[in-house]
A and B are shown apart, each in its own frame.
Chain A
Amino acid sequence: MNFTLKIWRQKNAGAKGQMVSYDVSGISPDSSFFEMLDTLNQNLIMSGGDPVSFDHDCREGICGTCSLYINGRPHGPEKGVTTCQLHMRSFKDGDTIHIEPWRAKAFPIISDLIVDRSAFDKIIQAGGYVSVNTGGVPDANTIPVQKEKSDTAFDAATCIGCGACVAACSNAAAMLFIGAKVSHLALLPQGQVEAAKRVQKMVACMDDLGFGNCSNTYACEAECPKGISVSNIARMNRGFLSSKLFAEKEKIIQDSLWDREPALCSPRYMGRFRWH
């Protein structure tokens, strides 16, 4: 297969960038998208050019390193896959393919298609964990967890931190990323203890880092390679609001607040109760 590639080139954070056109030929339809870019880079190296920088590592869809905006969509045209799992059979011979980096204020460009996503680390550092020490913890089976709840927590926990949700969002909001972590932990008894504090700290950190706000377009869910649901945003919003309300009266957060069907508090509805 043959392709024309239009790729964003930018030497470093300070340099001016532009789209540059390249041709690649003789690509197998079974090649992955990165194997196609490997071929381009080998050609560039051998002809004395400058290879294109892009982030990639596991190449099996789980590490979350890859981050390309392909033909205007994070991770390209296929639903539920990362760029590294995208194969050239998803394109037509002779296609022109546009390749750009994630575009978000909170993710500055490092080089070409590589952006700095350390803002996500900072959000997790603000409270995206259960505060337990290595050492004295109870036996793993001491607290039974309802299977359905555990499965829902797992669904939220499959976030790979790639940033497609931010890239897909017209406001570059990180609500799906935070919503997933907040939900994962709050749904489990082990994480519920500090759920109220956690959601407040993580949301405050997100605001500080320059991410935008949710305007309920659901683009994040549509482009998430792991299919993380926006119901996690609703759960986070509900947790955030209730933690604000209850904090003043020093009341204890009740389990039921986290359990209620997300539909009752959809992001669309909760959007009106923005905390700013």
Chain B
Amino acid sequence: MTRLNARIPEGPVAEKWTAYKSGCKLVNPNNKRKLDIIVVGTGLAGASAAASLGQLGYNVKVFCYQDTPRRAHSIAAQGGINAAKNYQNDGDSAYRLFYDTIKGGDYRAREANVYRLAEVSNKIIDLCVAQGVPFAREYGGLLTNRSFGGAQVSRTFYARGQTGQQLLLGAYGALSRQIAAGNVTLFNRRDVLDMVLVDGKARGIIARNLVTGEIERHAAHAVVLANGGYGNVFFLSTNAMGSNVTPAWSAYRKGAMFANPSFTQIHPTCIPVHGDTQSKLTLMSESLRNDGRIWVPAKLKDVERLRNKEIKPSDIPESDRDYYLERRYPAFGNLVPRDVASRAAKERCDAGFGVGSTGFAVYLDFADAIKRKGHDTIDSLYGNLFQMYQQIVAESPYETPMMIYPAVHYTMGGLWVDYELMTTIPGLYAIGECNFSDHGANRLGASALMQGLADGYFVLPYTIGNYLAAEIHTPRFNTASSEFNIAAQAVTDRLKAIKNTGAKESVDHFHRRLGKIMWEYCGMARNEAGLNEALYLIAELRSEYARGVKIPGGLDEYNPELEKACRVADFIELGELMVRDALQRKESCGGHFREEFQTSEGEALRNDDEFAFVGAWEYRGRDAAAELHREELQFKEIKLSQRSYK
């Protein structure tokens, strides 16, 4: 049994990172040139890491499945990025950002990592501005901020509703500069399908060239995974169509532990599902909750009349509206954290007060804000989001309230990493959404961009040196070694096994079925009976899938169905682990809501005595149950308390 050692530096939380940086080993520039690093993924974490490591002089290879690094799904992040600059003089500090993040995560994140995140947050803003990221500004020429859920200060920097795009283009620029300088080599349109270990250390990857189908071998002294989250396990999510868990899952199968897989963020403000052929869900930024007010009719007869189109939402008088977030949570109102807002919407809809054709939607109303601030101001703040909504739904949010419903958005769980962001496989790192480390059981808005860039720009470049300093005598690896041969052969065999011309169903058929199981039993609310049912259903799905899937085309050509088939095979296994994790955690915390464990007011009820730990799962073989390891969480700075936003 592997013991989890988070290797957190000694000393007070505010001094740990400084102490670590002073004590960690360095690699001199001549030796850096002899060391190869593979980075998988080019989102905010991957692009910023590859650029920064290339700049330091390491020889970096970076991989993405997209045609260019600039399209990684970080590009779709809308609302903003947090930093403890306190430019608004409203009392912000690194400590407050740290505190809000731990509390927002419902006390299931590691204090030392989160403090470091808050500490480096300011440097991210400085760097991005220097790169030419056009953050929103005041007329005086200085940067402006907006508020986000779970905080009482304005610390979110933003670039209209396209903050992720602008930050990613900044990182992509830095990456492009290193590519031009010859420090980074780009491998686009590649799926990374397996990890290669030599003597227990991560030494390379097996990738498939998506255009030619060629199985490629790449060796390095260290491997960094930045392949994002696994929300697509639900089929319908706000993730991109290609977002997948495969690189992280292949690492799990090779011995990297997977932590808190059931911690999924269901985002409260997405465009509701419209029909059976729907392929993805679209997010409407949380920033809308700054000005939009969420409500449903207070009377069931109005719900009925709305559905029959006898009345419009604006016909319902104020007194007959239920602004349920303002009612239940007067202190934070519409700006409660995402998990709380999502469950509240589900509660109203389950009680029959939902609107829209399906009854699974609530109103997000801008009428007051437009009256108060004027059409033009609202347009400058949310113009592109309103346009996007109108394009999809064919209704104007200027004239009638938006309809929204929660949807899968982000996964807090991921590969277990220590303080240095190293997984349980030496030399294998996980950064950004693909690790578990900073958001506990619920991520606050505008914290994902912060974490991805913190890991890539300011944490990994230090911590990876501490490992590589001991590798300067390790020569470059030969990819014709038996370890690479075995791994490459296993990948080829797997591809052949998945494709079965006699099979009756396509990949999408299985993926939709998996998504329905996960949403129904392991979504916004979970209970023991449902989770056990899910285990049974997933096992059935898995055995069907193992008999093969209908995939046209060949292995050695451009074949998107084959790509999907590999990803879905991993999602099915992951789905099972998520359910097991949700079963073992007999408490409610953050996004993980077990119906058996709630307060009399329907709020999440944690059990700190028994569950204040990170649940890290170790792979024990294809047909064996994974083994749970516990990393006990020590709260020295922050006192655990019932999270209250009332």
- Give the B-binding residues of A (Cβ under 8 A): 11-12, 27-28, 30-32, 34-35, 38-39, 42, 44-46, 48-51, 53, 55-65, 78, 80-81, 85, 87, 89, 110-111, 114, 116-118, 120-121, 124-134, 137-141, 144-147, 150-151, 153-154, 157-158, 160-161, 184-185, 188, 190-191
Contact check, B392 vs A87: say whether CB atoms are below 8 A apart.
yes
Contact check, A188 vs B134: say whether CB atoms are below 8 A apart.
yes
Interface of chain A: mostly helix, strand, loop or mixed: loop
Q: For residue B627, give the distance in angstroms from its CB to the closest CB of chain A.
A: 36
Contact check, B162 vs A60: say whether CB atoms are below 8 A apart.
no
Q: Can you offer 28 A-B residue contacts whose CB atoms are under 8 A?
A: A27-B277, A28-B274, A30-B274, A38-B277, A42-B506, A51-B561, A57-B242, A59-B280, A62-B165, A78-B391, A111-B557, A118-B67, A121-B179, A121-B188, A124-B173, A124-B176, A128-B173, A128-B176, A134-B458, A137-B129, A138-B130, A140-B128, A144-B142, A145-B137, A147-B141, A150-B135, A157-B159, A185-B132
Contact check, B174 vs A137: say whether CB atoms are below 8 A apart.
no
Check: B279 CB closer than 8 A to any chain A CB: yes
CA distance A188 to B170 in the complex (A): 13
Interface residues of B in 273-287 (CB under 8 A from A): 274-275, 277-280, 282-283
Q: For residue A164, give the distance in angstroms from its CB to the closest CB of chain B.
A: 15
Interface residues of B in 94-128 (CB under 8 A from A): 125-128
CA distance A157 to B129 in the complex (A): 13
List the A side residues contacting B449 at CB < 8 Å: none
CA distance A131 to B479 in the complex (A): 35
Contact mask for chain B residues 45-88; partner A; CB cutoff 8 A; 1 contact, 0 none? 00010011001000000000011111101011000000001010
List the B side residues contacting A188 at CB < 8 Å: 132, 134
Q: For residue A151, give the distance in angstroms from its CB to the closest CB of chain B.
A: 8
Q: Looking at the complex, which one of A31, A32, A48, A62 makes contact with B76 (CB distance below 8 Å)?
A: A62
Check: B388 CB closer than 8 A to any chain A CB: yes
List the A side residues contacting B475 at CB < 8 Å: none
Contact check, B131 vs A129: say whether CB atoms are below 8 A apart.
yes
Q: For residue B242, give the distance in angstroms from its CB to the closest CB of chain A.
A: 5
Contact mask for chain B residues 245-282; partner A; CB cutoff 8 A; 1 contact, 0 none? 00000000000000000000000000000110111101
Check: B461 CB closer than 8 A to any chain A CB: yes
CA distance A141 to B275 in the complex (A): 47
CA distance A32 to B281 in the complex (A): 12
Q: A31-B275, A39-B277 are in contact. Are A133 and B55 (CB under 8 A)?
A: yes
CA distance A138 to B127 in the complex (A): 8
Contact mask for chain B residues 1-35; partner A; CB cutoff 8 A; 1 contact, 0 none? 00000000000000000000000000000000000
Q: For residue B511, give the distance in angstroms from its CB to the closest CB of chain A.
A: 12
| Nearest CB in chain B to that of A50: its residue | B552
Contact check, B279 vs A34: say whether CB atoms are below 8 A apart.
yes
With most chain B CB atoms within 10 A of its CB, the pick from A30, A58, A61, A158 is A58
| Nearest CB in chain A to that of B83: its residue | A140
With most chain B CB atoms within 10 A of its CB, the pick from A34, A50, A78, A190 is A190
Q: For residue B1, give the distance in angstroms from its CB to the closest CB of chain A.
A: 39
Q: For residue A26, give the distance in angstroms from its CB to the closest CB of chain B.
A: 9
Check: B200 CB closer than 8 A to any chain A CB: no
CA distance A136 to B364 in the complex (A): 43
| Nearest CB in chain B to that of A139: its residue | B126
Q: A49-B552, A140-B143 are in contact. Are A85 and B132 (CB under 8 A)?
A: no
List the B side residues contacting A85 at CB < 8 Å: 388, 391-392
CA distance A78 to B457 in the complex (A): 40
Contact check, B131 vs A35: say whether CB atoms are below 8 A apart.
no
CA distance A78 to B458 in the complex (A): 43
Q: A65-B67, A131-B177 are in contact. Are A50 and B553 (CB under 8 A)?
A: yes
Contact check, A118 vs B461: say whether CB atoms are below 8 A apart.
no
List the A side residues contacting B131 at CB < 8 Å: 129-130, 132, 190
Check: B394 CB closer than 8 A to any chain A CB: yes
Check: B186 CB closer than 8 A to any chain A CB: yes
List the A side residues contacting B506 at CB < 8 Å: 42, 45-46
| Nearest CB in chain A to that of B387: its residue | A80
Q: A42-B506, A117-B67, A132-B127 are in contact. Are A51 and B552 (CB under 8 A)?
A: yes
List the A side residues contacting B128 at CB < 8 Å: 140
Check: B560 CB closer than 8 A to any chain A CB: yes
| Nearest CB in chain B to that of A63: its residue | B71
| Nearest CB in chain A to that of B384: its residue | A158
Q: For residue B552, give the distance in angstroms from its CB to the closest CB of chain A.
A: 5
CA distance A46 to B507 in the complex (A): 11
Contact mask for chain B residues 368-390; partner A; CB cutoff 8 A; 1 contact, 0 none? 00000000000000000001100
Q: Looking at the complex, which one of B52, B134, B174, B551 makes contact with A157 (CB distance below 8 Å)?
A: B134
| Nearest CB in chain A to that of B241: its residue | A57
Check: B138 CB closer than 8 A to any chain A CB: yes
Contact check, B134 vs A64: say whether CB atoms are below 8 A apart.
no
Contact check, A32 vs B279: say whether CB atoms are below 8 A apart.
yes
Q: For residue A92, give the distance in angstroms from its CB to the closest CB of chain B.
A: 16
Contact check, A154 vs B68: say whether CB atoms are below 8 A apart.
no
CA distance A56 to B160 in the complex (A): 24
Q: Looking at the complex, which one of B125, B186, B275, B461 makes contact with A121 (CB distance below 8 Å)?
A: B186
By Cβ-Cβ distance, the 3 closest A-B pairs, closest first, are: A144-B141, A129-B173, A137-B130
CA distance A188 to B85 in the complex (A): 22
CA distance A58 to B274 in the complex (A): 18
Q: Looking at the complex, which one of B137, B174, B188, B274 makes contact with A134 (CB distance below 8 Å)?
A: B174
Check: B558 CB closer than 8 A to any chain A CB: yes
Q: A30-B274, A81-B391, A125-B179 are in contact. Are A111 and B558 (CB under 8 A)?
A: yes
List the B side residues contacting A147 at CB < 8 Å: 137-139, 141
Check: B140 CB closer than 8 A to any chain A CB: yes
Q: A51-B561, A65-B71, A161-B68 are in contact. Are A154 and B160 (CB under 8 A)?
A: yes
CA distance A157 to B159 in the complex (A): 10
Q: A56-B241, A134-B458, A138-B130 are in contact. Are A150 and B137 (CB under 8 A)?
A: yes
Q: For residue A149, give the distance in angstroms from its CB to the closest CB of chain B.
A: 9
Interface residues of B in 167-192 (CB under 8 A from A): 169, 172-174, 176-177, 179-180, 186, 188
CA distance A63 to B388 in the complex (A): 14
List the A side residues contacting B278 at CB < 8 Å: 35
CA distance A242 to B52 in the complex (A): 33
Check: B469 CB closer than 8 A to any chain A CB: no
| Nearest CB in chain B to that of A134: its residue | B52
Q: For residue B163, give the distance in angstroms from its CB to the closest CB of chain A.
A: 11
| Nearest CB in chain A to that of B239: its residue | A58
Q: A130-B132, A140-B126 are in contact. Are A55 and B67 (CB under 8 A)?
A: yes
Other A-B contacts than A28-B275, A38-B279, 20 sampled, CB-CB below 8 A, are A58-B71, A60-B283, A63-B71, A63-B75, A63-B240, A64-B70, A85-B391, A87-B391, A89-B394, A110-B211, A110-B558, A114-B558, A121-B176, A130-B130, A132-B127, A134-B458, A147-B139, A150-B141, A154-B134, A157-B132
List the A side residues contacting B240 at CB < 8 Å: 57-59, 63
